[in-house]
Chains A and B, each alone.
Chain A
Amino acid sequence: MTDDKPMNSPYLLQMKEIYKSFGPVTVSAGVTLEVKPGEIHALLGENGAGKSVLMSILCGILKPDSGSIHYKGAPLNIGSPREAIRHGIGMVHQHFMLVPNLTVAENYVLGQGTPLRLINDMKAVHQRITALSDRYGLDVRPDAVIEDLSVGEQQRVEILKVLFHGTDLLILDEPTAVLTPQETDRLLDLMRDLVADGKTVIFISHKLDEVMRVSDQISVMRDFKVVHTTAVTDTNPRELARLMVGRDVLMELPRGSANPGQVVLSVDGLSCRNDLGLPALKGVSFSVKAGEIVGIAGVSGNGQTELSLAISGLLPIDAGKVSLEGKDITGLSPAEINQLSFAHVPEDRHKMGVLLPFTLAENAILHRYNQSPFAKKGLLQRGVTASFARDLIKRFRVKTPDEEEFLANLSGGNQQKLVVARELARDPNFILVSQLTRGIDIGAIEFILQEMLKQRDAGRAILLISTELEELFTVCDRILVMFHGEILGEVPADRSRLEEVGLMMAGQRSAPAAAMEPALT
């Protein structure tokens, strides 16, 4: 282990020939990763390529079967995440590791020191958080309770937590998944600032443009190995994409023009409140026609969550009206809405969309567990369910040994494919999809988005709520922008309008048409 010359190594971190498997399943097949101090090192790859496992090994959450890790020139043998923190290695996870009913400061000191000391030190903790927050412009208040924060805010809390623990090596797992373009810019700037401060960043991502913009070095992972490491100056997005998936990625999905028909969903003056009783939607009106995809853009926490819940009957409506195919569905229960020609891919698949300890087959019948042919005389029809699940798995190319696998064992992309497959199998005329591609890999994104276009061309009405502008501009026909519970404006999904959407997401109303017209004429 110690045959390497210590201190002379040019690398901050060297992971060599890391192997890890769970029974017959290999999740790390001889990974070698070398990171120099003071660089932003991107780890690029599809979900299920082994990025998260590799980082879990580095953070002491998992133990490798073989291989060596050198950190700061010395062999590193970490047994727990807490030791990793002590060594100055900190990770911001894709799924936040925060206790929802505690404040920011309480989350930060969780597991650190004795309770009595903490009470005394809490003031200092608050000051330190405020100082760090101001320094990096993160807008994190130490006394805010986590569950009151939007997803985007929670992420900033997570990033600050790692900084709070005095980390030298930051690992960011898909950090931009929930951010607006402006927030993403800010995060990328922040990463630059951190490096300028002498810290080192490992940036896990599948977004080529961000990786190209911010990284110094890029390691591409595929099939549980690093297949290529290169300086950012020596490569281009096309090459990286090819390395990631082993084939060329269509950055622009081919699609014909939309052919909108009758109005399928119409929302009129919809108002409702969020969990805390605060107004979340303030008179939202729009409609979705058959054969078109309407996008809802916006920074998370501007009412999109409540909009999707209100439409699907999961949140009480204060005022306004929702109609589906001409039928008033305002105030119907979720069970009643499920009987209609309606499908819903929820925004947080772990919270709502799936049951992790259930098998794929059991997940496949979530809405139809008491309907024929999946149930007869109150008994589940396991044979029918299994063949139905197999059919979904095959059609959506879900990577799994079989339909009896537990859903928890699948990667995020494959879980989402199953959810989309299940929802589309309900043969709905209206499809509500929320944060469809959050935290999943390019291959799965492309597949699912193409499926959405197919549904559109088959005459389905689709409402696509997303914080990913790239996704919206790729498939939508028109885009509505939500801000503070209102729809601020609508633009056709033309990439030249990207800047305009970004401004509206920040709360600036689009330049009034009247003001623009003179310039045009």
Chain B
Amino acid sequence: MKTLTVPGTLEALDEIGEFVMDFGQGAGLEKKKIYRLRLAVDEISTNVILHGYKEAGIDGKLTFEAEETGEDITIRLFDTGVEYDPNEKANPESLNKPLEERPIGGLGVFLSIQSVDKFLYERKDGKNIHTFVVRK
């Protein structure tokens, strides 16, 4: 298992992206799936940084655990920001509306959930745990 801990700021997104892509490459994941996994993790990380920490006035870190089990690549994101279940934000219905009529927000979560085979959220011991799984 590999881990990464970064401060909860937008500047950390680069390092998070590199961590996910490096792990995907090392596990032999195909290019498209690496892209999608990175997208999924990047979007949720952005939400944690902006909504879980910044808007709430909380300083915190993001910790990632990446592991390969059989055919599955699993990335877990732990944060101590406000409780936030991305599943409640996902609303693909508005995607068929003209641009002018679409609500802001929810787009990143939609992209994230669509881009992985499995997405799970839980709140445990004061932490948010986001789990992303892609199959090789």
Q: Are A and B genuine complex partners? A: no
Residue positions of A touching B, CB distance < 8 A: none
